[in-house]
Structure 1
Amino acid sequence: MLRRLSKNSKPYYPDEMSNKYSAVQNPDFSGQIIVESTEDDINKLEIYKLKEKLKARDPESTLSEMEDMAFLSDLGLTKYDAGNLKLTIAGLLFVGKEQAIHRLLPQAEVIYLHYSQSNLEEYDARLDMTAPIISVIDRLSEKIQDANRIVNVQVGLFRLEIVDFSERVFQEALLNALAHRDYQNQAAVYVKHYQDKIVIENPGGFPEGITEHNIITHPSVPRNKLIAETLQRLKYVQRTGQGVDIIFRDMVSSGKPYPEYRAYNDAVSLSIYSAIYDVEFVKFVAREQNLRQRNFSLSELMILRYLTDNRRISLATATDLIQGTRDMAQKSLNDMSRDGLIEVSGKEYMLTARTYEAVKSTVEYTKDRSIQYIKAKEMIMEYIEGNGSITNEKTRELCGFTKQQARSALDKMRGESLIQLVGAGRSSKYMKSSETR
C-alpha cells in the first residue's frame, strides 16, 4: 500500500501497519495485565532496590515508605484481575523474577556485545540478560564504566575529567531504548561496545511524527506510557522525553561528536562516540559557564559548536540545526549577541573576536573579517560602476550590514582611495575616487 506524506506518497509496509494499528488498539502495551502472572513472580529484592534508589534520588519522597504491595499498586505495576493479584507488563519489567520475565516476556532481552580494537566484525565477549530494567541498567553501566578511559582537561585552576562514555549519557540512552522499544516485537535490544563508540539498537521504529531531524524538540510520544511514568516517579528521569536533550547537551559540552540516530522501519539505533572532538571548545564552555554561573542552553551550545567549525551561520541554518522554530533560533542568536559571544556579519552571524581567541585564534578572526570586507568591497564597487554612486543605506541593504558596519567598510575604502565622499548629511553619497577613474 501507499501512504500519503505531504504532497507525495511512500510505501507503507506490513510491519509498519501492524505496529501502528497495535498501538491504536492497545494505547499502552506496558500497562496491560499479564493474566498468567502470579504474586510468586515478584522479586522482593527488586522492590527493595527500587525503594533504596528512590530514597537516594529523592529523600523527600514518601513513596519509598509505603508497604511493598501498596508501593507496587501505587505505581501501577500490579493490578487485581478477578480478585487475583497480577503483574502488568511494566510490573514484570521492574520487579519480575528473571525466570518469570523469561517465561512471560522472553523478548524483553538485552544482549551486550564487546568488540576489540583489532576485530570489529566478531565480538570477544557477550552477555545475555533477561532481567528487570534497573538491574540491566546497573549491570551494563558498571561494565561501561570499568572500561572507560579518562582524559584530563585543565581549565585554569580546575581540572575536568572527561571519560570515554559518560555514565549519565549511557544510562539515558539505554533507558530510552528500554522504555520506547516495541515489546511486541520478538527482537532483543543490543548494546554493542566498541573502543570508540557504543551502538544501542532497539526494536520498533520511531513513533509517528518523530524523525532523526526533530528528535530533540518533538514532544515525547512514549510507546510504553507506564514504563515512562514509572521511571519518572522513581526519579530516573526528570520529565518524560528529556533524555535526548541530556544526551546531546553532555556530548556537545564534552567536545564529542553529535549522537547519531538512525531509523529503520522496525528499529532505531543510536551511536555515541568516545573521541573528544575539540578540547579548546570544552575549555571555553567550562570557563564561560563558570563565569556566568549558568549553563548554556542546548541551542546555544549547538550554534557555538557549529560556528567553531563553519565560521558563519544564517538564521535558516540555525533553525535547522537546533531542530526548533525560527523564533527559537532567533532568540538564541539574540541572547548570544547580547552576551558578546557572537556578532552580526551581514545577514549571518560569526564569533566575536573574544570568542575566536578562546576557541580558535585571532588570526582566524582577522582572516574572516578580511574575507567579509573583500566581498563587500567587490559588491560596492560593482554597484558604483553601474549606478554612479552608493549611499550608506544602500550599502547596508546590499551587504546586509548594520549602519556602523557599512560606515566602517566605506571609510576603509576611502582610506584605500577607492571611493570619495560627496555631499553631507542625508544627501551624502560615495562615488568612485578621482584617482581610480
Structure 2
Amino acid sequence: MAAAGLWTTSPAWAQFRVEIAGVGATQIPVAIGRFKGEEGVPQPIASIVIADLQRCGLFKTLDASADKLDETSRPVLTDWRGKGADALLAGSILPLADGRFDIRYRLWDAARNKDLGVQSLVVPAADLRLAAHRIADDIYEKLTGDKGAFATRIAYVAKTGRRYVLWVADSDGKGERDALTSNEPIISPAWSPDGGKLAYVSFEGGKAKVMSQELTTGRRRVLASFKGTNSAPAWSPDGKQMAVTLSRDGGSQLFVMGIDGDNVRRLTQSGGIDTEAAWSADGSTVYFVSDRGGSPQIYKTPLSGGSAQRVTFNGPYNISPALSPDGRWMTFIGQVNGGYKVHLMELASGAVRVLTDTRDDESPSFAPNSKQIIYATRNQGRDVLMTTSLDGRIKASLATPQADVREPVWGPDIVGAKR
C-alpha cells in the first residue's frame, strides 16, 4: 500500500510522502499535528516525525492539525480514543535570539489515558532534522518498548556517469552529505563502531586500497595497501580490530589487523576465496563467504583461530552476511530461481526465510536496533535503497539521488555523536 500524503497544501510538506508496501500485523494509531510556530522553520518537524513512524510500518498516523494543540494543551484523551488514536503528539517551536530553536513536545498515551510528559530539545538550525528523528525515536520507544533507529545514519555509494560518490545520509535517505567524490570506484563502505569513521576500498592510483576516513574532518589514511588485492574491510564491535581480505600471500584470504594497519595476522587457510567478513555481535566469531566447497556459501570461524564451520545450506549461492547488533540474526543475499534476494537466518535455530520478492538485491545491513534491514535493489526499473522489516511485511524506499546506488550500510546508534 502507499501511505497517504502528508498535508499536501505546500511543496515542503508534500516532499515527505512515504511509499511503503505491506501492512504490519498490528499498527499503533498516533495523532500528530503541526507544531505550533512551525511555519517559517527551515525543516517541517512534524512531517519528518510522521514519515519516520510510517516508514517503519509499526504506526499509522492521524492528522491532528485542525485542533491546533501544543505541549501546554490538556486534551480529553477519551475523545481521541474515540477518534481511533492510541496516542497523541503535540508541540511547539520557538526561535531563540542566538539562532537556535527550542522544540518542546508532549506525548499522551490515549489508550491508557496517561500523560507521558514534556520533552525539550534546543538545537541549531542544522540539527532540526536530527531533532525530528529523535522525537520519532522517543515515540517509538515509549509506545513499543524498543529503541528507535531514526536518529541514525546510513552510508552508500552512488555512481553518476564516471563519478563515484560516497554519501552519508539520515536514516530516511535525506540530509545527504558527500564524504568522498572520486573518478575511480569506491566499494565496501563500513562504519566504525563509534560512528566517527568510514572504512572503504578505493581504487585511486589504479590499485585497490583499504582506506579509513574521519567524517568530521575528511582526514584519510591508508590501512591496507599490500601486494595484490586489499578489500572488504569490517570493523570489530569494539573498534580495536579490522578484518580484511588480502591476496598478499597468493589467493584471497581473511586477515585481522589493528585499526592502524598494524599486527596483521591471517585468519583463514583454504584453497578457495575467503572474503566479506562480518563480526558476531560479541566479537568472538567472524562470518565470511567462501567457495571452498565449490560454490559461494557462508562460514564462520573463531577469532582465536580454528576450523571454519559452514553456516548456509539452502540454495546454491549465498553471500554478503551481516549480523544483527542484538546477536539473534544474520541477513544475507541468497540465490532463488536465478534471482538474488534478501534472506534472514535465526542464528539459534538456523531457520531461514526469504524477505524480498525482488531479484537484484545486494548488500543487506541491519539497523542498530536490529528491527529493520536496509539493502540495494532494482525496483520498477531503477536502482533504489529499500528497508524491510524482519518479517518481510513492510518495505519502504528511501529518498536517494537519481543514480546507480549501491552498497548501503546502516551506521551505529551513537547518542550525541558529531554529524
TM range (shorter): under 0.3
Q: Which has the higher contact order (CA 8 A, sep 6+)?
A: 2
TM-score between the two structures when normalised by the length of structure 2: 0.22
Higher helix content, 1 or 2: 1
* The structure with more radius of gyration: 1
Higher strand content, 1 or 2: 2
TM-score between the two structures when normalised by the length of structure 1: 0.22
